[in-house]
Amino acid sequence: MKRKITISLEEDLVRLSRRRALEENRPLSALIQDAIMQYLDNKVQEQDKRLEAYRTFCERPIRISREDFKTLLKESSWI
């Protein structure tokens, strides 16, 4: 169910949005709704990518041999 809301936008943004809606032959509200949905979808994808990165780099142990570990310690410039 759709619901009416009141928002304030910059005049230039309203003008450009109305022009685009006319070019695409659809209501301004549909254009704004699509833009908001796309924005929210991108945010969800970013959160999913961050969670996957966390799981990859923080939840899984690094398995290397003792010799490789010692080599890494010797080669590290910050130790």
Q: What is the pLDDT of residues 47-69, one digit of tens each?
A: 888 888 777 777 777 778 888 88
Place of tokens 């003008």: 15
Residue 40 lies in a domain: yes
Note down the domain range covering 65: 11-75
Number of structural domains (the chain) is 1
Residue 4 lies in a domain: no
- Taking Cα atoms as reference points, which of 15, 43, 44, 17 lies closest to residue 32? 17
Residue 2 has a pLDDT of 87
Residue 2 lies in a domain: no
For the segment 2-22, what is each residue's pLDDT rounded down to a tens digit? Answer: 899 999 999 999 999 999 999
Residue 33 lies in a domain: yes
CA distance 68 to 74: 10
- Taking Cα atoms as reference points, which of 65, 47, 44, 43 lies closest to residue 55? 47
